Amino acid sequence: MAEAYSTLAKPTILVVEDEAPLMTLLRYNLEKQGFKVEEAADGQEALLRVSEARPDLVLLDWMLPALSGIEVCRQLRRRPHTRDLPIIMVTARTEDQDAVRALDTGADDYIAKPFVMDALLARIRALLRRSGGVATKGMLTYRDLAMDQDAHRVARGGRPLHLGPTEYRLLEFFLQHPGRVFSREQLLDAVWGRDIHVEPRTVDVHIRRLRKAINGESDVDLIRTVRSAGYALDAEDH
């Protein structure tokens, strides 16, 4: 199952974790999978590391001394440079509201402690696939929305938009099938992949974020919610 990366393109993972034994375990497993590992033991250090060198993904513990993982996530999302940095939040809590809160703050995914290492690795690989990738496909458009897949840029009416990796991939999928309604399960399969388990409700959170990112105050909402069916890229004003 090991999908090792070549030494030429080793993705760097910044692990933010204050429990030393867990850090050691994470480093061992991530390096075994071909990742380069950077460490930060608290929130401040995490922000410093990220500004020094942008990692490919941040594995961010929620419960940290001084500055919580949620706050770190919020700050990273506020900075233009790290607005779309892939973040997986590690929660010590299993309550659903916490997971949703993590996603609402801007995390791309979350995993609850205690976690199975293989499940975490699958999520990391899936998020890296969604965020990076070698897109050389061209231009997708719908009404005044345009996605340049080569440059990995999205604009609406000429105004550049900033999307997280999951929202980007969702929008890309919608743009490939405009007007078609997809169920949450279909979106999960298409965007997250079949190999990882994600709650269908997670789709709602990312749709909300996608809407927020692409719809300006005076813009027409380009995403149509189809009650009990799912979502479509389909402006409702016609």
Residue 87 vs 191, nearer CB to Ca ion: 87
98 touches Ca ion (CB under 5 A): no
Only one of the segments 17-25, 115-123, 150-158, 184-192 lies at the binding site for Ca ion (rule: CB under 5 A); that segment is: 17-25
Provide the 3-class DSSP secondary structure of residue 93: coil
Residue 67 vs 100, nearer CB to Ca ion: 67
Give least dist CB 141 to Ca ion, A: 44
The one-letter amino acid at 183: S
Residue 48 vs 92, nearer CB to Ca ion: 92
User: Which residues in the 61-80 window bind Ca ion by CB under 5 A?
Assistant: 61, 63
In whole angstroms, give the CA distance from residue 157 to residue 45: 39
Residue 178 tokens, joined: 């405009």
Give least dist CB 99 to Ca ion, A: 17
Only one of the segments 57-65, 71-79, 174-182, 215-223 lies at the binding site for Ca ion (rule: CB under 5 A); that segment is: 57-65
18 touches Ca ion (CB under 5 A): yes
Only one of the segments 15-23, 106-114, 120-128, 147-155 lies at the binding site for Ca ion (rule: CB under 5 A); that segment is: 15-23
In contact, 183 and 173? CB cutoff 8 Å: no
In contact, 5 and 35? CB cutoff 8 Å: yes
Which residues are 126's β-sheet partners?
none
Residue 38 vs 61, nearer CB to Ca ion: 61
Report how far apart, in Å, the C-alpha atoms of 219 and of each of 66, 135, 157, 236, 237 are.
Answer: 40, 28, 10, 12, 11
Give least dist CB 52 to Ca ion, A: 22
Which residues are 13's β-sheet partners?
37, 57
Nearest to 15 by CA among 33, 1, 3: 33
**Chain positions contacting Ca ion, by CB under 5 A:** 18, 61, 63
